[in-house]
Amino acid sequence: MTRASGDRVLFLRKSIDIERVKKHGRRFQTTLFNMLSCPSGSPRTRIGIVVGKRFGGAVYRNRAKRVFRELVREVRQQLVAGHELLVFPRREALIVRHRLLQDAWKAALRHEGLMIAELDQRCDNSASV
């Protein structure tokens, strides 16, 4: 399994970056995850996924990180540039259906103004002559 190109620059990896977001970030909570966001001034948005040992064993922690990395990759083209995010998954995120988690993720990003509005791709031919 190969990593998608550009993943290195998409995710926060250094502890100093993560601590900066923890210190200056704005918190948003859902039943499935908590999220911190702050402006970074860089041309791209980067996201960190933090799963502590309280979450459960290594298998569960790694699964949570995999699930949220996939959620990030799904919306990477729609993210507003210049922010850093931290996501703290909750145990419930591994229990719910992926579609419900995906909807909650997108709703949280929209609520915080971190996602570009999706274009309406429906075709309305009733107005044309």
For 60-95, how does the pLDDT look when each residue is reduced to its tens digit (9 = 90+)?
A: 999 999 999 999 999 999 999 999 999 999 999 999
Altogether, the residues listed in the chain come to a count of 129
The domain defined by 8-111 folds into: Ribosomal Protein S5; domain 2 (3.30.230)
Token reading at 66: 């995999």
pLDDT tier at 42 (50, 70, 90 boundaries)?
A: confident
Q: Is the pTM of this model over 0.85?
A: no
Q: Give the residue from 47, 48, 30, 37 showing the smallest Cα distance to 92.
A: 30
- The residues near 63 (Cβ < 8 Å, ≥ 6 apart) are 94
Tokens of 57: 């064993």
For the chain, report the end-to-end CA distance as a whole number of angstroms. Answer: 51
User: pLDDT-derived band of residue 7, with 50, 70 and 90 as boundaries?
Assistant: confident
